[in-house]
Amino acid sequence: MFARLTTIQMKSDRHEEFVKIYEEKVIPAARLQKGYRGAYLLTDRKTNKGILFTLWNGEEDAIANERSSYYQEQIEKFAQLIFSAPPVREGFDVSLRD
């Protein structure tokens, strides 16, 4: 299994809007992607920081997803409205899961 983490910095007054867009637009689109296993959205209202955490069958699926332009299309749903800094994307092997 492979995890993609995207760290974002939100504008202070956009938390609820961000969560709504993620739930109503990003998650349904993600469910249609090959190898998608699930997602978590972690937010901190005090710092306006968020972590988008998606799980994939393997690194190949996550990379294919990024190459298909899907990932960029999802980020663009937020860019003008919510981000106060560019998102930072990282990938990790899931070495242990409970």
Q: Which domains does the chain have, with CATH numbers?
A: 2-93 (3.30.70.100)
Indicate yes or no: pTM above 0.85: no
Please give the distance of CA 6 from its chain centroid, rounded to a whole number. 5
Residue given tokens 């997602």 in the structure block? 39
Neighbours of 44 (CB within 10 A): 11
User: Would you state the structure tokens that stand for residue 96, as one six-digit string?
Assistant: 């242990």
The Cα 69–Cα 78 span in angstroms is 15
Task: Please work out, in degrees rounded to the nearest 5, the angle formed at the alpha carbon of residue 4 by the alpha carbons of 17 and 62.
Answer: 110
Assess whether pLDDT exceeds 70 at residue 1. yes
User: 38 pLDDT band (50/70/90 cuts)?
Assistant: very high
How far does Cα 44 stand from its chain's mean position? Answer: 15
